[in-house]
Amino acid sequence: MEFEQRRGWVQVPEGLVVPRALGGLWAVRHAQSEANAWFADPATEQRPMRGTDAAVELTAHGRWQAQRLGTWLAGLSAVQRPGLVVCSPYLRTRVTWAVMAEAATTRHRHPNPIRTLVDERLRDREMGVFELHPYRAIRRRAPEEGLRRERVGNWVYRPPGGESLADVALRVRSFLDELDVVAAGEQVLVVTHDAVVMSLRYILDGLGAPVPDSLEPVPNASVSQWRREGTRLALRVWGAVDHLAKDADTG
């Protein structure tokens, strides 16, 4: 550290925060999908799931989770309630939002409709030849790829034909920069995937922030929030699932 000081280098423990114009940002990870259930089942965790990632549906439990998210949304104050929702194009996110919106309307019948958009940059991480492969299925099919992932780290590991988490962060940064221009001052909700939520945290932590390679994925149907403080968006809620409790009542 002494050498770094003599040479004019200064260690910055946190990122240099980029000013943002958004009024606030909410991020919801989609509710439980059929792929989530497949990956968690010991009977199927070594086999790839059929179909395409973009077309994966919600489970019955996922639809219940999305309804609980709708109850949470209905309970937000007028100041916090989003006026704009941006979804990933994948089916599981669009269904999550559709069920949320219906549940929120049924509960409070809010008269002001929420504008909804879809942006392809909010799609999940593309896994290339390992699409819809649980991690154990990747190790079984291509053990050398599993070892390479462990060696280089998940943040920069790029499966053949797919993306690294660093690649996801690049497109999410582009999305966030444009959103900042077109939705200045607004409360915005994104309904997306764990890789995108993680990327949002990394980007909003500021320039030079450490990569979140050690973070666990946020839970399905979880809520994260960045609240405006001066010119920055500060993380205030991360991966919250209180609204999923059986006796939860948010409004």
CA angle 184, 195, 216 (to 5 degrees): 120
**6: amino acid identity, one letter:** R
pLDDT for the residue 107: 78
6 pLDDT above the threshold of 60 = no
4 pLDDT above the threshold of 70 = no
Residue 181 lies in a domain: yes
1 pLDDT above the threshold of 60 = no
pLDDT for the residue 106: 86
Averaged confidence pLDDT in the chain: 91
Comparing 12-26, 65-79, 147-161, 191-205, the range with the smallest average pLDDT is 12-26
**Greater model confidence, 109 or 70:** 70
**Greater model confidence, 34 or 113:** 34
pLDDT for the residue 248: 64
pLDDT for the residue 32: 98
pLDDT band at 2 (very low <50, low <70, confident <90, very high): very low
3 pLDDT above the threshold of 70 = no
Give the Cα separation of 27 and 18 in Å (integer).
Answer: 19
Share of the chain above pLDDT 90, in %: 81
Residue 209 lies in a domain: yes
Per-residue pLDDT tens digits for 208-233: 899 988 888 999 999 999 999 999 99
pLDDT band at 250 (very low <50, low <70, confident <90, very high): very low
Residue 11 lies in a domain: no
Residue 3 lies in a domain: no
What is the average pLDDT across 139-147? Answer: 93
Residue 204 lies in a domain: yes
What is the average pLDDT across 115-140? Answer: 96
Q: Which domain holds residue 46?
A: 19-244
Which 3-state string (H, E, C) describes the chain?
Answer: CHHHHHCCCCCCCCCECCCCCECEEEEEECCCEHHHHHHHCCCCCCCCCCCCHHHCCECHHHHHHHHHHHHHHHCCCCCCCCCEEEECCCHHHHHHHHHHHHHHHHHHCCCCCCEEEECHHHCCCCCHHHCCCCHHHHHHHCHHHHHHHHHHCCCCCCCCCCCCHHHHHHHHHHHHHHHHHHCECCEEEEEECHHHHHHHHHHHCCECCCCCCCCCCCCCCCEEEEEEECCEEEEEEEEECHHHCCCCCCC
5 pLDDT above the threshold of 60 = no
Comparing 64-68, 106-110, 224-228, the range with the smallest average pLDDT is 106-110
Domain containing residue 237: CATH number:
3.40.50.1240
**Greater model confidence, 6 or 129:** 129
pLDDT for the residue 204: 96
Number of domains forming the structure of the chain: 1
Give the Cα separation of 65 and 63 in Å (integer).
Answer: 5
118 by DSSP, 3-state: which? strand
Residue 14 lies in a domain: no
Residue 197 lies in a domain: yes
110 pLDDT above the threshold of 80 = no
Residue 5 lies in a domain: no
pLDDT for the residue 247: 65
